[in-house]
Structure 1
Amino acid sequence: MPLTPLDIHNKEFKRAFRGYDEDEVNEFLDQVIKDYEALIRENKELMQQAQALQEKLDHFANIEESLSKTIIVAQEAADEVKTNSKKEAELIIREAQKNADRIINESLVKSGKVALEIEELKKQAAVYRTRFRTLLEAQLELLNGDSWDVLEGKTGTEE
């Protein structure tokens, strides 16, 4: 058990022949008591400071651990968002490619139909032109024919 200032104060020494000066010893003990009390107070203050610093250190260690966990969770969330975004982008691209292929195929089918219609219209136009030419030629032949002369009162000898 450590020595206390009270123990030093209450310490009694035996008297011996040719001993030390009692007043000098008492003054020295008083000085030792004062110094010892000061050391005890200082030690107590240092212990309190050490405890306060340890509490702060524990607090900051907890904050550091929380921040580390938060950073890990944020990183995982960011990675998950990135992965999901990539998957969604790939899905959108595939869907767009499907739509583009569908539109291209529909356009090819429509252009094929239009080409067929154009060919059919060209054939019909050729047939119409041929018929119209035939009709015009027949009409010209009628106009150039003798039957108009009869209507106009002309005979074949008058010209």
Structure 2
Amino acid sequence: MLTLSDIENAVFRRAGRAGYNGEDVDNFLQQVRVSYEALIKNNLEQKEKIALLSSENDSLKKENTTLSTQVQQYRDEEDEIKHALISAQKLGDASIREARHKAEIILKDAELQAQSVVAEARGKIGDYETELEQLKRSVSDFRASLLDMYRKHLVLIDALPSQRPARKEEKPAPADEEPAKKEEPAQPEAEPEAKPQEEPAPAEPQPAPEKEETEYTDVSGFGAPEPRKETKDRRYDKLKFGDNYDITQDPDSPVDIFNRK
């Protein structure tokens, strides 16, 4: 049998002038090569299909064998069941009625027990739901009271004075009184308490009130107060609410703050 290589490498002898045209021979050989190559490719594909079909056929045969075995088992079981039914029928109608009666009793007992278990479970569920509602109300009341106390504490903290008390300075020695007075800024003297208007001062000159020794704080180191800007009060911006909020787990909450250190 010729191979594809034999067809491609075929050489023809020329018979003088009456020989075949070389171009026609080459074209024909090209056609033969293409056709033969397609034939070989088709043959290989057919072989692969045959192998695949053979494999599927083997699988189907195995499956058929398995199904046949199962069918035989079912038939054997069917025969056994038939023999068992025949044997049961031979025991008589009395035995069958007794078995049915026992089955009915067992079913009734099972139904009664199931109803009792279901009723008990429903009662427990109702108790648990009531207890859960009570716990929810208790938690809600505790949260509300805790938040109310938290707000009150914030109000009290906000009401605390923020000014520091004046720092007492030691009195200078009499000899150094003049330089000390020059260094200290001029401070207004304490004004005497005004008398009620019901008693107007007479025309007579009143004695000058005694000067009280007033302690002054050196404020030269403090800069001029900056104008206060109106800002939004953000103390209550971080208040958190909700059923899923646990104030004891909040790192920003003041509750139990000393135990977390």
TM-score by length of structure 2 reads 0.34
Q: CA deviation at 1:78?
A: 1.3
**2:36 corresponds to which residue?**
36
**1:26 corresponds to which residue?**
26
**2:11 corresponds to which residue?**
12
Q: Which amino acid aligns with 2:56?
A: K
**1:108 corresponds to which residue?**
none
Equivalent residues in 2 for 1:118-133, closer than 5 Å: none
Q: 1: CA distance between counterparts of 2:63 and 2:77?
A: 20
Q: CA deviation at 1:71?
A: 0.4
SS at match of 1:15: coil
Q: CA deviation at 1:52?
A: 0.6
**1:118 corresponds to which residue?**
none
Q: CA deviation at 1:50?
A: 1.7
Structure 1's unaligned 5+ residue stretches are 97-159
**1:93 corresponds to which residue?**
92
Q: Which amino acid aligns with 1:16?
A: A
Equivalent residues in 2 for 1:110-149, closer than 5 Å: none
Structure with higher Rg: it is 1
Q: Which amino acid aligns with 2:33?
A: I
**2:84 corresponds to which residue?**
84
Looking at secondary structure, tell me which structure has more helix per residue.
1
Q: Which amino acid aligns with 1:37?
A: E
Q: CA deviation at 1:36?
A: 0.6
Q: CA deviation at 1:4?
A: 1.3
- The reply to whether residue 52 of structure 1 matches residue 52 of structure 2 is yes
Q: 2: CA distance between counterparts of 1:27 and 1:94?
A: 96
Q: Which moved more, 1:10-19 or 1:27-36?
A: 10-19
Q: Which runs of 4+ in 1 moved over 2 A?
A: 92-96
Q: CA deviation at 1:11?
A: 1.4
SS at match of 2:92: helix
Q: 2: CA distance between counterparts of 1:3 and 1:51?
A: 25
**1:69 corresponds to which residue?**
69
Q: CA deviation at 1:94?
A: 9.2
**1:3 corresponds to which residue?**
2
Q: Which amino acid aligns with 2:15?
A: A
SS at match of 1:14: coil
**Percent identity of paired positions between Structure 1 and Structure 2:** 31
Structure 2's unaligned 5+ residue stretches are 96-261
SS at match of 1:36: helix
TM-score by length of structure 1 reads 0.53
Q: 1: CA distance between counterparts of 2:78 and 2:28?
A: 73
SS at match of 2:37: helix
**Greater relative contact order (Cα 8 A, min sep 6): structure 1 or 2?**
1
* Cα deviations by residue, 1:99-140 (Å, 9 ceiling, x for unpaired): xxxxxxxxxxxxxxxxxxxxxxxxxxxxxxxxxxxxxxxxxx
Q: 2: CA distance between counterparts of 1:75 and 1:23?
A: 76
CA RMSD of aligned residues (A): 1.9
